Amino acid sequence: MNAAQFQQLLTHEIKQMCHIALTEDLAGEGNPDITAELISPATTATATLISREAGILCGTAWVEQVFELLGNDVSISWQTATGHRVKDGDPISANQTLCTLKGNARSLLTGERSAMNFLQTLSATATRTAQYLQQISHTQCQLLDTRKTIPGMRFGQKYAVSCGGGTNHRLGLSDAYLIKENHIMACGGIQAALATAINNHPDKLLEIEVENLEELSQALNGKAQVIMLDNFSLSDMQAAIQIRNQHSNQAKLEASGNISLSTIAKIAETGVDFISVGALTKNIEAMDLSMRIILE
């Protein structure tokens, strides 16, 4: 998938997920926000969206889409109190004004929670990615995400990983091969799985998961381009690199499995090419945000 295709799918996902979020809040189309109806429909307001903790910003397009779906009567300016414009991927500090929203008070109140849900979740993914990346910045290792994403928000979370400085692994099941234990068993072994994969789609990136050094040798012989070292010890990773370096197939090596902030540096220092971390997208804690509304 190229960058243009990714952007097209991301744009579609933003519209779709914002629509779903508002449909959830309003229990279907056409239902009112009965609490917002306490306020006169002609009332206008100004709101400020504030971060309560430091991190990496991500999700501005989702905020804009939520209020666009509620009508074109809300304007958003992504600027700090000093006039500095903020954008996805920017570091933000605690108690920083992220944006100012102006428009219909009912729309602001109705869209507030959905908009912040997206922004706090995607900013959390970007922030978590930056934290992991900082731990391995002294190495040449690349940090990868996984497909362990929130259903329906695959492209958003992958985008958030890139905003945090990480690199996207495959986006979906048709982009590249990732042959894992169950595939290998179903195919009758590593060699058979790799040979069939090459025959079926020779143009696709060929990655396979291995669980020990013997399987690593089989994967190298089978012409795998990337080999995932699943739950290898540090010593076995180092041995795997030596075996790969002495082989004619200079496949890239990817470490994976129960990797945390406290362990990732040592893993990167072994010399593996990639480390994939599911925690970037599945073990996140939403960023603390708040919105303050002043009626006009």
DSSP character string of 4-18: HHHHHHHHHHHHHHH
Give 49's contacts (C-beta < 8 A, 6+ positions apart): 63, 97, 98, 99, 100, 101, 115, 116, 119, 289, 290, 291
Catalytic, out of 102, 148, 223, 282 = 148
Q: Which of 25, 73, 230, 288 is catalytic?
A: 230
Catalytic residue among 85, 87, 113, 292: 113
Q: Based on the residue annotation, tell me whether 113 is a catalytic residue of this protein.
A: yes
Q: Is 230 a catalytic residue?
A: yes
Start-to-end CA span in the chain (Å): 48
Report how far residue 11's alpha carbon sits from residue 7's, in angstroms, rounded to the nearest whole number.
6
Burial class (CB in 10 A: 0-12, 13-18, 19+), 255: buried
Cβ pair 78, 48 in contact under 8 A: no
Name the catalytic one among 180, 204, 252, 282.
Answer: 180
| Whether 85 is catalytic | no
Give the whole-angstrom CA distance, residue 45 versus residue 82. Answer: 21
81 token code pair: 């109190």
Nearest to 235 by CA among 261, 269, 202: 269
Catalytic residue among 64, 209, 215, 273: 209
128 is catalytic: no
Which among 136, 140, 134, 145 is positioned nearest to 168, based on CA atoms?
A: 145
* Tokens coding 51: 């971060």
Question: Residue 282 catalytic?
Answer: no
List residues with catalytic annotation. Answer: 113, 148, 180, 209, 230
